[in-house]
Structure 1
Amino acid sequence: MIKLTNLTKYYPSDLGNQYIFQDLNFTFPEGHNVALLGSNGAGKSTLFRILAGSEYPNKGKVVTDKALSWPVALATGIHPKMTGRENTRFIGRVNGVADLDEYEQKVKDFAGLGIKFDLPVMGYSSGMRARLAFGCCVAIDFDVYLIDEATSVGDQSFRKKAKQALLEKAKTAQVIMVSHELDEIREFCDSAVLLHDGELEFFPDLEQAITKYKTL
């Protein structure tokens, strides 16, 4: 269960508070892999960050009994002065991974960083950081994976591997996905939540949601 209770988010401006949503109440349906759709500026990314816990609402809360991933492929929690290996073990400990050695090996193999796995992350390219974060995320069995343009990471070979890994996860865990690529959404999702004018509407029929989204 992922429930939004009286969720309010605004940003101060010279013209007063600019509300993204106000007193929003909504429960994400279980048993569905959900696309989060909405026009530019609707608040998709803001809502996604709130779900991930990387941003907080001004009022209200997210209530869940699920283990949610951080947004896949975003380098959330990666410390630049630590090596890839040190970051991996730290993330594993924070997320309660029982076998850190096994987890470390899975991440190392998946990220494909070679000897740079033992170098400080501050020397990584943005793509390398994303590959490390991606590996750390998919090597943990979360209940819900938050996917935000995740399959654009790295070169063509890594993108293919990343997409396959996420499709495998989507078979046993729930997915909530933000993407501008409708073909990608169709691969991962069977339904959608449409964010429009500060309100959320669930569509069990993905194509119906896409049709309405295109009219916004």
Structure 2
Amino acid sequence: MPDSVIAVRNVSKVYALYSKPVHRLLEVFHPAGKKYHTPFRALDSISFELGKGEALGIIGRNGSGKSSLLQLITRIQHPTSGTVEVHGRISALLELGAGFNPEFTGRENVYLNTAIQGLSEEDTDARFQRIAEFADIGEFIDRPVKTYSSGMYVRLAFAAAVSVQPEVLIVDEALAVGDIFFQQKCMTHMKKMMAGCTIVLVSHDMHSIVNLCNRVLLLENGRITFDGDPVQAVSLYTKILHDEQFSSGRKKKMTAATADPPPAVERSPVEDISEWLSVPPEKRSGAGQAVIERLSVTCEGKPVNLVQKGDLINIRLLVHAETALDDIIFGYNIRDRVGNAVFGENSLCLNEPVSHLAAGTSVVEYTFYWPEVYPDTYTITVGIGQGLTALDHVIQCWAHNMVSMNAIAPGRAVHGMFNNNLVSLAVSSSGSAASAL
């Protein structure tokens, strides 16, 4: 890429970790050169190039090397090996209020911040009104920033950072702070900047990554494991999180397998359910005449981790009933990150719902389409009831918050919990309206 703005070539970063502060001194003066530190390789042979106008997202688990990479790009740190080249003025948001003096007012900190980035006082005078309007913190602009909330800090910091019209903008998690309106304002502004500015964004907000970036790096243990399409990168990242979340359960399962084998379980003739998620007793509630023992939640045959409008979600349950039961209801419930029920449904909505459950073990399967909901992390609860109406039935078994998934809405703004399309729209001119009277 001959016109690259950022070029990272075979870069590694190794830190020396000491168990005690005094070991740094002992290592320096030890006559035999004894090493007291343990080397930690935060980045391992990283290489990529970024051109003008590109927006690069960097994602990965905590400790994967994201912050170390940003510090090398912004020249806060230097690589242990390899080279980092950046062409153009950099503006960085690596920490809330970084560079702000808590005793200064917001106005004074704006002038301080822009001066650090190379603007004269006259240049800031010309930009200040736009900065204040973008930050939208009202009279707090003339109060000490030590009185600000974290949201006000980042609003002012972001407004000051983008005011210098940088050629390279580095943002580390700053878009995740503030209300939805400010987040949307930031995203809109960054999209406008992308024509002439190269953006590097680190975030755990997958919606921002998908909507702002045209390319994403996935880091794992200091290495790039994926470089490409944002949606595919987010899907891979979410899978890593889910594998990590359920790995302890799999380890317990493997350990248990070395003990005496459990009694034989009646298997479905349809498929092997051994890899389905096991539902532990602490996740279940209800009368218990019918119990959900395992479940599988998939989309296009793969475990669900990333969802968007129109995805067909397939739920399969391994259910054990003590005796045959009639008037059985199967359903699901989707909750947001704080536990609010967002949407759900049960089998009573079907024209001819299956209402009989045989004694023993059965496999139950049902599907629904994912709607256009606000981009966030959601969990799914599945359940079995017994009765004739949704408002009057016995809960036999609920399996609570069994699977989490990240919802995205590429290229869309969701104006609440979910979007509800208009049915019609008509415009009449004043002349037509007057003649109608």
TM category (shorter chain) comes to 0.7 to 0.9
- Of residues 1-10 and 185-194 in structure 1, the stretch that sits farther from structure 2 once superposed is 1-10
Residue equivalent to 1:65: 87
Q: Which amino acid aligns with 1:30?
A: G
Q: Give, in angstroms, the shift of residue 81 of structure 1.
A: 1.8
For the pair 1:4 / 2:8, whether they are aligned, the reply is yes
Q: Secondary structure at the match of 2:91?
A: coil
Q: Which amino acid aligns with 2:8?
A: L
* Inter-partner Cα distance in structure 2 for 1:20 and 1:103: 39
For the pair 1:206 / 2:230, whether they are aligned, the reply is yes
* Inter-partner Cα distance in structure 2 for 1:163 and 1:136: 15
CA contact (8 A) 1:73 1:131 kept: no
Q: Which amino acid aligns with 1:189?
A: C
CA contact (8 A) 2:57 2:200 kept: yes
Q: Which amino acid aligns with 1:154?
A: G
Q: Which amino acid aligns with 1:33?
A: A
Larger Rg: 2
Question: After superposition, where does 1:22-33 map in structure 2 within 5 Å?
Answer: 22=44, 24-31=45-52, 32-33=54-55
TM-score, normalised on structure 2?
0.45
Q: Output one character per residue of 1:56-81: Cα deviation in whole Å (capped at 9) or x when no partner.
A: 54555532112222126732211112
CA contact (8 A) 1:69 1:145 kept: yes
Residue equivalent to 2:119: 97
Residue equivalent to 1:173: 197
Change (3 A) 1:81 1:36: same
Question: After superposition, where does 1:1-216 map in structure 2 within 5 Å?
Answer: 1-5=5-9, 6-14=11-19, 16-22=38-44, 24-31=45-52, 32-58=54-80, 61-71=83-93, 74-97=96-119, 99-200=123-224, 203-216=227-240
List runs of 5+ in structure 1 lacking aligned partners: none
Q: Give, in angstroms, the shift of residue 130 of structure 1.
A: 1.3
Q: Which amino acid aligns with 2:143?
A: L
- Of residues 3-12 and 166-175 in structure 1, the stretch that sits farther from structure 2 once superposed is 3-12
Identity across matched positions, percent? 29
* Inter-partner Cα distance in structure 2 for 1:213 and 1:43: 14
Q: Secondary structure at the match of 1:146?
A: strand
* Inter-partner Cα distance in structure 2 for 1:134 and 1:73: 11
Q: Output one character per residue of 1:103-154: Cα deviation in whole Å (capped at 9) or x when no partner.
A: 2222111112222212222222222111110110121211122122232222
- Of residues 195-204 and 178-187 in structure 1, the stretch that sits farther from structure 2 once superposed is 195-204
Q: Give, in angstroms, the shift of residue 195 of structure 1.
A: 2.0
List runs of 5+ in structure 2 lacking aligned partners: 20-36, 241-437
Q: Secondary structure at the match of 1:49?
A: helix
Change (3 A) 1:73 1:162: farther
CA contact (8 A) 1:72 1:137 kept: no
CA contact (8 A) 2:114 2:161 kept: no
- Which structure has more relative contact order (CA 8 Å, sep 6+)? It is 1
* Inter-partner Cα distance in structure 1 for 2:73 and 2:225: 17
Change (3 A) 1:110 1:38: same
Equivalent pairs counted in the alignment come to 215
Change (3 A) 1:56 1:118: farther
Q: Which amino acid aligns with 1:12?
A: L
CA contact (8 A) 1:84 1:116 kept: yes
Change (3 A) 1:212 1:4: same
Q: Return the structure number with greater helix share.
A: 1
* Inter-partner Cα distance in structure 1 for 2:104 and 2:210: 38
Q: Secondary structure at the match of 2:92?
A: coil
Q: Secondary structure at the match of 1:194?
A: strand
CA contact (8 A) 1:71 1:147 kept: yes
Q: Which amino acid aligns with 2:90?
A: L
- Of residues 146-155 and 201-210 in structure 1, the stretch that sits farther from structure 2 once superposed is 201-210
Q: Return the structure number with greater strand share.
A: 2
Q: Secondary structure at the match of 2:8?
A: strand
Q: Secondary structure at the match of 1:42?
A: coil
CA contact (8 A) 1:2 1:66 kept: no
Task: Calculate the aligned-residue CA RMSD, in Å.
Answer: 2.5
TM-score, normalised on structure 1?
0.84
Q: Which amino acid aligns with 1:91?
A: N
